[in-house]
Amino acid sequence: MPNQSLITNYAKSTEFDVINDMIEENNETANLLSFNIWQEAKQFAGFSKTMLWAFPVANIMRWKIRKNKQLKHILQFKELLPVRNNIEKGSFAYDSLLFNENIFSLFKNKSHLANLVCLAILFGDEFIDGIAAEHGKENIRQIFADEKFNYYLQYREQAQQFELFYEFDICDVLPLNVLTAKNAKYEITYKAFYLHLLFLLKEMNAYINKLEISIRKEAAQLICKACNKCFDTYKADITAFDLNYTFTDLQHYQKTKDDDIIQVLLTLRAVLLTKKKLNYQAQFSNWSSMVRSMQLYDDMQDIAHDYNYQMNTLAYFAKNYFTNEWQWLQQNSKILQQLKGLKLHAMVCLQMPASVMLTMQYARNIAYTRLNWVQSKITNYLWRKNWLGINNKLLNENKFFVSELMKQDDCTIPLKIHFIKQHVYTANHPLISTEMKTSLVMDIMLMDAELKKYIQKKLGKKQNYFLTSSFLEFPLNKKAALAKQFL
């Protein structure tokens, strides 16, 4: 019999080497990059040719779509605003930058069905996570064990008309107390939540039957494939989640959850735009890598809910490398669940700094190895908006100040910087460098409204630009050098 302890230790040592190699690759790649403002301007000039005509068209089509009263009602949820914006901007990027659609094609809004599917998947993900929390994992497992229900999305055809459908009604599956419970995030009952999802299904069916007859069946098949892949990942979280997952398990999970589903959705978009799929499929993996990168800041935002429920990058690093941070998470998850926006982000960074640093290294590696210039700019924009809260009113509604976590109303700038540094510099591990620590101090400072203004005033325009517009790729040694001016 093999010694399980030795096998586990070997696996951990091998994964340590993989993570260390990733960090070294990041450092080597960063040193090869040229951060020249004139080269950047040249890249933007080429990019702007597409944007100048495509962006106004995208805004017109967005306004047209929102004339649908019930769809507008779903989109009005403040908490759904980031999802809605990401779908709309993602659609614009895919159609104009990946599939090279011209202005006349964009006016036809052929890919709207793909946007509806994305909205249904993301809104539905919130729904099923909510009922799992409300009803309990064990009860959901028992529901899945009942073989009389088929929980997968299907389609049927009659006289060239297609219908997407489920064989079950959730009201027949869940008890009344769950259906009438309110979702804490959206403040609506789960029954009302379900009715919104049924409306989206109805809208998808209406749009399928507006398509050219020749592509209706393939569109229906791809929608079922994407939705059912999502359901499979949810089912695996409920029935097969093992807290002792490896880095390899995590990467496979992310591939299944992000890359595979996004590539199906991009194939659907190609079908809707009547593009030859084979001409574009080689590029799909790069675009799906953007979503994987976004999933990493999502992991950090959702850590309190995810850590004992599904695989999570931040939780993996904490559990396997930083025992103190893992213990803190377990003891304080309920407190974290009550926090929102930048207060939550800063708390995670201050209390789990080493795990955050390695999660950021993973995000940097994706940017260095998988993304082109345009994809990097889009990804950096999303990171600085959704993680640092820059130009994000939802995350930074009342302006965040680190003093809120210090439990002091009035703190001087040096005192706040000292507080941040004191927490971040507790991280000590062979994988963690001083430059990583100093760079994270800078990130947290940029979350604080007063410190951000102070930094931006002290630094030049060029330095401010690269610090945020090249958030992931900007070399840590250069970022740390900027941060040291304030420490």
Domain map (residue ranges) of the chain: 13-67+283-487, 112-272
Q: Left, alpha or beta for 187 (phi > 0: left; psi -120 to 50: alpha)? A: left
Contact 314, 300 (CB under 8 A): yes
Predicted pLDDT of residue 477: 94
Chain position carrying tokens 């600085």? 384
Predicted pLDDT of residue 10: 46
> How far is it, in rounded angstroms, from Cα 352 to Cα 78?
28
End-to-end CA distance of the chain, in Å? 55
> How far is it, in rounded angstroms, from Cα 94 to Cα 92?
6
Instruction: Give the SS3 label for residue 246.
Output: coil
Hey, what long-range contacts does 433-438 have (CB within 8 A, 24 or more apart)? 433/476, 434/480, 435/476, 435/477, 435/479, 435/480, 436/357, 436/360, 436/361, 436/476, 437/353, 437/357, 438/479, 438/480, 438/483, 438/484, 438/487
Predicted pLDDT of residue 47: 63
DSSP for 13-55, please give it.
Answer: HHHHHHHHHHHHHHHHHHHH----HHHHHHHHHHHHHHHHHHH
pLDDT tens string, the chain, 487 residues long: the values are 344 443 344 455 789 999 999 999 999 999 888 777 777 777 766 666 556 556 666 566 666 666 666 677 676 777 777 777 778 778 878 888 888 877 666 667 788 899 999 999 989 998 998 998 899 888 998 888 887 889 999 999 999 999 999 999 999 999 999 999 999 888 999 999 999 999 999 999 999 999 999 999 999 999 999 999 999 999 988 888 899 999 999 999 998 888 899 999 999 999 999 998 888 888 998 999 999 999 999 999 999 999 998 999 999 999 999 999 999 999 999 999 999 899 999 999 999 999 999 999 999 999 999 999 889 999 999 999 999 999 888 777 778 889 889 977 778 999 999 999 999 999 999 999 999 999 999 999 999 999 999 999 999 898 999 999 999 999 999 999 999 999 8
| Structure letter (DSSP) for residue 268 | H
* pTM for the model: 0.89
Predicted pLDDT of residue 3: 42
